Every structure is written in C-alpha cells, then in structure tokens.
C-alpha cells in the first residue's frame, strides 16, 4: 500500500499530482481509520505533508522557482542533475583514474601546432608538463600521428582541422563553460622560444600583480617585435606601459589606452578564467585571424586596463615570427619597422602575422585577409557601440562621453524626423 500511494504518481505531469494525491490521501486516511497502527500514522503524515504541499504551496514554490536561474534549455530538468560546466580531463573506461590523470589540473595550455614546428612545440610543452597544466594541441595541418613518439603525446588533447587558425580553434573548443575550472589559459603560438621562461614563476608573478591578461615579454634582440609595449624591459619584473614615441603620439605615464598601455599581443596571451569568458565572447566566429581583438582586450580585464594587463619581463620568450600557416617558406626574420608599429590599428594575431615579404603562396592572401578582417572588426565594434544604448564605455574620455539619455534623445530625433 505504501508504494501504491504517491510515489508512482510523481512520474505524471505535475498538474495531475495534487488531485491524485488528494485521492490517495483519502484512501490512506481510510486505511488509517481501519488499521490505526502508529507506524502507518507516521508514514501517512509524511505523505500527506509532501502531497499536500504540492498543492498548497504551489504559489510560494513558483515564486521561489522563478528566481532560480537555470541554464537555458535545462529548465525541464531537476536542478541537481544539471551539469553546467565541463573540463578537459581524460577519464578511464573502467577502474580508478590512473596516477598521471588523477591529479587535478588547474591551468590550460593550448597551442596551434604544425608538424614543422614539432621541436619548438615540444620544448614549450615540456616547460608546462611539470606544472599542473592540461595540454591541448590544435593541429592546423592535419598531422596528428607524427606527434605520437613524444612521451607527453597521450596526455595531450589533440584537435585537428586543416588550415584553421588558433582563434578559430579557440572559439570552437575553448568555450568558457568547458574551460571554466582552469585558473589561467595560455593560448600560444608555436613559434616561441622558452629558454628563459619558467611557468611556475610566471604564474606566481601574475597572481601577485593581479594581471587578468598578460604575456611574457619578448626578447627584443632575438624576436620579431611588432610593438614597443611587449618588448622586454631588462630592469623590471613587470611593465604595463611604454614610454616610447609611437607614431605622432608620445606614450607617457598619463597614457590610458593602447598602443601605450592596456593590451598584449596575440602570439602568447595568458587569460584568467574570468577574462577568457569575456574574450571568448568577443572573438568573432567568422574573423579567424582575430586582428583588432588585442586592442579591445582591455574591456575584458575585470577592471582598469592600465592595471590589470601587463607584460612579464622577468620571464620572457623569443618570438621567431615564422610564417607558419598558409606558407611553405619558413623563418624570414623581419626587423621591427617603427613606422609600421606606429599605426594604432596594426596588430599581430598569431602565426599568420609574420612575414612582410611577398611570397607567392598563401602568405600574401593571409595578410590581405587579416587586414580586411581588421576593418570589419573595427566597424563591427563601432556599430555595436552605436546600437547598444545600455553600454557605457568605461574608457571613454569624459569630454566625449555621451549619456544614455542623450543617445536615446538623438535616436528619437532621428526617428521623428524621418518622415
Ligand atoms: C641585445 O644585444 C645587445 C648587444 O649585443 C646587448 O647589449 C643587449 O643587452 C641585448 N639585449 C637583451 C634584451 O638581451
Ligand atoms: C601627467 O599628468 C600630470 C597631472 O595632470 C601632469 O602634471 C604631468 O605633466 C603629465 N605628464 C606628462 C608627461 O604629460
Ligand atoms: C592548406 O593551406 C596550404 C597552404 O596555403 C595549401 O597548400 C593546402 O592546399 C591547404 N589545404 C587544404 C586541405 O585546403
Ligand atoms: C618613419 O617615418 C619618418 C617620418 O615619416 C621617417 O623620417 C623615417 O625615416 C621612417 N622610418 C622608417 C624606418 O621607415
Ligand atoms: C606578389 O607576387 C606576385 C607573383 O610573384 C605578384 O603577382 C603580386 O603582384 C605581388 N604582390 C605584391 C603586393 O607585391
């Protein structure tokens, strides 16, 4: 009898429950009268309370439930079963986790890698293995098997798609809900020299300094340096601004915006979990070279971009600037051209932003495409700013700042004068 009262009814639509419960309560009540055993009375009380509550307390409950925020699409499930986040930990088919996998990784290294840069990638990955990193390789040349001989290969997650950029992969395989549990996300190119880089010390520094977005400085003697800001300052541990002349602009301690301060280049960025959640949303699905994104990173740093973005000088790297994607020719080191880097808009976005020479292969196409994408991105940003009344630019200079009210007034003016 116990089992035949409320429990099976719970699988039916909730609308019917109160009526059925009412019926079964009556049945139960009769049973209580006839049998009168203390055991059943206790049992009955519990059932009555739980059944009755679904009716009497429906209003209270629906009020309570409205305020529960459930991930979209999961509303029809009981809350406790909803598994919102995931991770990149590999799990065994049976038995306990093996020792290598059982420790929990707290950070993530993702590298876009081609087999031609195997040695360089191997060196980078080895620097991270000793720390608590999940390693992910984005194979843009489709070659996966040739990495197997490296002893860490089975530990890494390999994702392969022909001729796709780091940003294409990142947008698709580093969704913030998937990588939410990683404190820091290193989204690196493959053509980096890491002899003078220690990831443990690097992590300590960025935590101490509160850097939400950062990069190791570039060794200016050996690297292709596009921007003054990211060149290594040998006298400091961390720097957040440059004091150089950039174009006609002199950067100084009062500068508040890129290219003087508040951004990093795209070859070796490091994101905190929160800043990645924001940056991921800013990556455009179709703009695979992501040019222009770097200068807007300041909007993702959970605060002031002149403070929360920085370049770590004491742990630094070499950027070889190999034209690795869309090219067969390798390693043409290009000197910095100050006038080029002077343009506000110029930005480098990974392996594809390298050689300036005209090679009659994919390079020219990649470069041209990158510049086109930069224009599209800038226009999209401007349009988004224009159309979002509710958005307030935290970095806009007070003089130029338009209030929401003013924008709305302008819009009303435009609409009423249209006809
Ligand atoms: C670059 O090379 C010059 C000359 O060899 C040297 O004086 C300077 O210290 C080097 N700079 C760095 C950052 O290593
Ligand atoms: C920076 O701003 C301060 C205060 O307005 C001013 O005194 C100083 O001269 C400025 N520095 C430069 C290099 O412009
Ligand atoms: C990938 O890009 C390379 C270099 O531009 C090109 O030669 C190759 O055909 C592309 N592969 C595919 C499958 O499109
Ligand atoms: C950069 O531009 C300035 C003025 O336009 C010019 O004098 C200088 O030679 C240029 N430098 C390079 C390296 O092209
Ligand atoms: C690059 O080289 C190709 C073929 O050699 C030529 O057709 C093209 O005009 C060149 N482009 C530039 C920008 O020099």
Burial class (CB in 10 A: 0-12, 13-18, 19+), 211: buried
Q: How far is CA 369 from the centre of its chain?
A: 24
Distance 163 CA to ligand 3 centre (A): 6
Burial class (CB in 10 A: 0-12, 13-18, 19+), 413: exposed
> Helix (H, G, I), strand (E, B), or coil: what is residue 7?
helix
Characterize 178-189 residue by residue with b for buried, 16 or more Cβ atoms within 10 angstroms of its Cβ, and e for exposed: ebebbbbbbbbb
Ligand 2 neighbours, Cβ below 6 Å, are 252, 254
Ligand found nearest the CA of 360: 5
Angle at 88 between CA 87 and CA 91, to 5 degrees: 100
Backbone angles phi, psi at 43, to 5 degrees: -55, -45
Task: Report the range of poorest mean pLDDT among 104-113, 150-159, 199-208, 346-355.
Answer: 346-355
In this prediction, residue 65 carries a pLDDT of 72
| Domains contained in the chain, CATH given | 1-55 (no CATH), 104-386 (3.90.550)
Please check whether residue 320 is in contact with residue 225, taking contact to mean a CB–CB distance below 8 angstroms: no
Ligand 1 neighbours, Cβ below 6 Å, are 219-221, 232, 234
Task: Report the range of poorest mean pLDDT among 188-192, 296-300, 342-346.
Answer: 342-346
Relative to the CA of 163, which ligand 3 atom is closest? 1
Angle at 381 between CA 377 and CA 383, to 5 degrees: 115
Answer yes or no: pTM beyond 0.75.
Answer: no
Ligand 5 neighbours, Cβ below 6 Å, are 358, 360, 364
Average pLDDT of the residues of the chain: 80
Task: Report the range of poorest mean pLDDT among 326-330, 355-359, 374-378, 409-413.
Answer: 326-330
State the CB neighbour count (10 A cutoff) for residue 90.
14
Compute the Cα dihedral for 147, 153, 156, 158 and give only its sign.
Answer: positive
> Helix (H, G, I), strand (E, B), or coil: what is residue 158?
strand
Angle at 163 between CA 161 and CA 166, to 5 degrees: 80
Ligand found nearest the CA of 247: 4
Distance 255 CA to ligand 2 centre (A): 10
Distance 234 CA to ligand 1 centre (A): 9
Distance 81 CA to ligand 3 centre (A): 44
Best residue among 193, 221, 319 to mutate for probing ligand 1, ranked by most atoms within 8 Å of CB = 221
Distance 68 CA to ligand 3 centre (A): 49
* CA-proximal residue: ligand 1, atom 4 (nearest): 221
* CA-proximal residue: ligand 1, atom 2 (nearest): 221
* Long-range contacts at 230-236 (CB < 8 A, ≥ 24 apart): 230/264, 230/265, 230/311, 232/311, 232/313, 232/316, 233/313, 234/313, 235/313, 236/313, 236/314
* CA-proximal residue: ligand 4, atom 5 (nearest): 339
Best residue among 355, 357, 359, 360 to mutate for probing ligand 5, ranked by most atoms within 8 Å of CB = 360
In 262-304, alpha helices (H):
273-282, 293-296
In this prediction, residue 14 carries a pLDDT of 47
pLDDT tens-digit readout, 321-370:
886 665 433 333 333 333 333 333 334 433 333 334 445 567 788 889 99
* CA-proximal residue: ligand 1, atom 3 (nearest): 221
* CA-proximal residue: ligand 5, atom 3 (nearest): 360
Distance 124 CA to ligand 3 centre (A): 26
* CB within 8 Å of 419: residues ≥ 6 apart: none
CB of 247 sitting under 6 A from ligand 4 = no
pLDDT tens-digit readout, 1-31:
444 444 444 444 444 445 555 556 555 555 5
Give the span between the Cα atoms of 294 and 365, in whole angstroms.
21
Please check whether residue 9 is in contact with residue 16, taking contact to mean a CB–CB distance below 8 angstroms: yes
Q: Which two tokens stand for residue 264?
A: 């990093």
Q: What crossing angle do the helices spanning 58-66 and 38-56 adopt, rounded to 10°?
A: 60
CB of 343 sitting under 6 A from ligand 4 = no
Ligand found nearest the CA of 339: 4
Ligand found nearest the CA of 316: 1
Backbone angles phi, psi at 202, to 5 degrees: -60, -45
Minimal CA–CA distance to 136: which of 175, 84, 102? Answer: 175
Ligand found nearest the CA of 219: 1
In this prediction, residue 309 carries a pLDDT of 97
In this prediction, residue 380 carries a pLDDT of 97
In this prediction, residue 216 carries a pLDDT of 98
Residue 38 has pLDDT above 80, yes or no: no
Relative to the CA of 234, which ligand 1 atom is closest? 13
* Long-range contacts at 326-334 (CB < 8 A, ≥ 24 apart): 326/163, 326/352, 326/361, 326/362, 326/363, 326/365, 326/366, 327/355, 327/359, 327/361, 327/362, 327/363, 327/366, 328/361, 329/355, 329/359, 329/361, 329/363, 330/116, 332/357, 333/224, 334/224
pLDDT tens-digit readout, 91-129:
889 988 766 555 667 999 999 999 999 999 999 999 998
Please check whether residue 213 is in contact with residue 288, taking contact to mean a CB–CB distance below 8 angstroms: no
Ligand found nearest the CA of 336: 4
Residue 397 has pLDDT above 80, yes or no: no
Distance 265 CA to ligand 5 centre (A): 28
Give the span between the Cα atoms of 163 and 155, in whole angstroms.
24
Distance 358 CA to ligand 5 centre (A): 6
In 293-403, alpha helices (H):
293-296, 305-308, 338-341, 362-387
Please check whether residue 7 is in contact with residue 52, taking contact to mean a CB–CB distance below 8 angstroms: no
Q: Which two tokens stand for residue 296?
A: 């807007």
């Amino acid at each position: 009898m116990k089992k035949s009262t409320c429990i099976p009814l719970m699988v039916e639509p909730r609308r019917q429950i109160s009526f059925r419960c009412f019926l079964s309560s009556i049945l139960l009540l009769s049973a209580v009268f006839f049998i009168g055993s203390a055991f059943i009375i206790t049992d009955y009380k519990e059932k009555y309370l739980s059944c009755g509550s679904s009716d009497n307390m429906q209003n209270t409950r629906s009020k309570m439930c409205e305020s529960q925020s459930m991930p979209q699409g999961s509303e029809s499930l009981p809350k406790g079963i909803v598994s919102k986040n995931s991770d990149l930990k590999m799990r065994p088919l049976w038995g306990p986790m093996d020792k290598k996998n059982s420790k929990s990784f707290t950070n993530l290294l993702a590298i876009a890698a081609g087999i031609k840069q195997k040695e360089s990638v191997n060196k980078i990955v080895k620097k991270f293995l000793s720390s608590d990193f999940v390693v992910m390789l984005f194979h843009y040349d489709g070659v996966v098997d040739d990495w197997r001989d490296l002893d860490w290969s089975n530990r890494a997650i390999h994702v392969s798609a022909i001729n796709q950029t780091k940003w294409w992969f990142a947008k698709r395989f580093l969704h913030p809900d998937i990588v939410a549990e990683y404190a820091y996300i290193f989204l690196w190119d493959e053509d980096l020299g890491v002899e003078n880089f220690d990831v443990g010390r690097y992590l300590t520094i960025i935590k101490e300094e509160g850097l939400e977005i950062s990069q190791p400085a570039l060794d200016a003697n050996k690297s292709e340096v596009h921007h003054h800001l990211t060149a290594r300052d040998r006298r400091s541990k961390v720097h957040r601004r440059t004091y150089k002349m950039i174009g006609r602009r002199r950067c100084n301690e009062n500068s508040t915006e890129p290219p003087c301060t508040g951004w990093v280049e795209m070859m070796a960025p490091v994101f905190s979990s929160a800043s990645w959640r924001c940056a991921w949303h800013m990556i455009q699905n179709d703009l695979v070279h992501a040019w222009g994104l770097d200068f807007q990173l300041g909007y993702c740093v959970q605060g002031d971009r002149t403070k929360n973005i920085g370049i770590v000088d004491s742990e630094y790297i070499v950027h070889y600037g190999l034209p690795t994607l869309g090219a067969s020719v390798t390693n043409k080191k290009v000197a910095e051209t100050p006038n080029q880097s002077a343009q506000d808009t110029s930005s480098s976005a990974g392996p594809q932003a390298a050689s300036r020479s005209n090679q009659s292969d994919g390079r020219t196409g990649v470069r041209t495409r990158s510049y086109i994408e930069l224009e599209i991105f800038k226009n999209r940003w401007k349009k988004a700013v224009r159309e979002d009344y509710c958005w307030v630019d935290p970095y806009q200079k007070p003089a130029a700042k338009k209030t929401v009210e003013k924008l709305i007034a302008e819009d009303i003016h435009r609409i009423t004068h249209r006809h």
